[in-house]
């Protein structure tokens, strides 16, 4: 029986992520003046771009590893992937708002909400992939550990929203710390991915 390949899913996702990063960098407008002070005024915009670039890059790396564990793609996986890309596509908007507002509480809080929704969307996609009964036992254990880690990080993102009105720096600290937990996917996924036989179904 013919199964849906994942090549188009990967290509579409990669293209959207590339556009997201391009939009973010286009928000870095050069100052009109040529003084250090003018450049310093761009610091909030630049730092918000760096943070969002790292967040999107980490999501892409984990997404890349996750899809290499998929043997075939279902309609559910396609739509859950689109759901993830929707929330990621909002990152440039909220990133620009944070920079322009110089870390005002509302944009910082909404940034946390977007990151929460992006993380939740990624987790839904991961769980759909993990539900395949043919999942390797070693990979299944990776998913079980991810369930616990993701529950903690989602709680932190939820907490960051009201914390923005207490101290935006507490929220920013969460936004910096949480992605570091996902900086590199586990070696188990890489080993299992390298063991996938060549000539897998593709579109």
3-state secondary structure of 34: coil
What is the pLDDT, as a whole number, of residue 119?
92
The tens digit of pLDDT for each residue in 108-161 reads 999 999 999 999 999 999 888 887 655 555 566 666 777 788 888 999 999 999
The tens digit of pLDDT for each residue in 46-98 reads 889 999 999 999 999 989 888 877 877 888 899 999 999 999 999 999 999 99
Extract the tokens encoding 56. 């999107």
Answer yes or no: is pLDDT of 16 > 50.
yes
Cα gap 113→107, rounded to integer Å: 10
Cα dihedral across residues 68, 74, 77, 83: positive or negative:
positive
Question: Please, which residues have CB within 8 angstroms of residue 57's CB and are 6 or more apart in sequence?
Answer: 21
10 Å CB burial of residue 75 (0-12, 13-18, 19+) is exposed
Cα gap 123→34, rounded to integer Å: 45
What percent of the chain has a predicted confidence (pLDDT) above 70?
82
10 Å CB burial of residue 56 (0-12, 13-18, 19+) is buried
Answer yes or no: is pLDDT of 192 > 60.
no
């Amino acid at each position: 029986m013919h199964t849906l390949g994942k090549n188009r899913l990967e290509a579409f996702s990669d293209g959207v992520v590339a556009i997201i990063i391009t939009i973010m960098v286009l928000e870095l407008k050069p100052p009109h003046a040529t003084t250090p002070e003018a450049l310093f005024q761009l610091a909030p915009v630049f730092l918000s771009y760096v943070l969002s670039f790292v967040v999107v890059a980490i999501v892409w790396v984990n997404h890349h590893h996750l899809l290499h564990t998929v043997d075939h793609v279902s309609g559910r996986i396609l739509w859950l992937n689109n759901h993830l890309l929707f929330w990621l596509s909002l990152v440039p908007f909220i990133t620009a708002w944070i920079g322009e507002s110089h870390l005002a509480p509302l944009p910082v809080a909404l940034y946390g909400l977007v990151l929460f929704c992006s993380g939740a969307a990624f987790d839904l996609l991961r769980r759909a992939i993990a539900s395949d009964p043919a999942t390797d036992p070693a990979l299944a254990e990776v998913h079980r550990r991810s369930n616990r880690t993701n529950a903690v990080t989602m709680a932190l993102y939820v907490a960051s929203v009201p914390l923005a009105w207490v101290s935006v720096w507490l929220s920013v600290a969460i936004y910096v710390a949480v992605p570091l937990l996902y900086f590199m996917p586990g070696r188990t996924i890489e080993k299992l991915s390298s063991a996938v036989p060549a000539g897998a179904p593709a579109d």
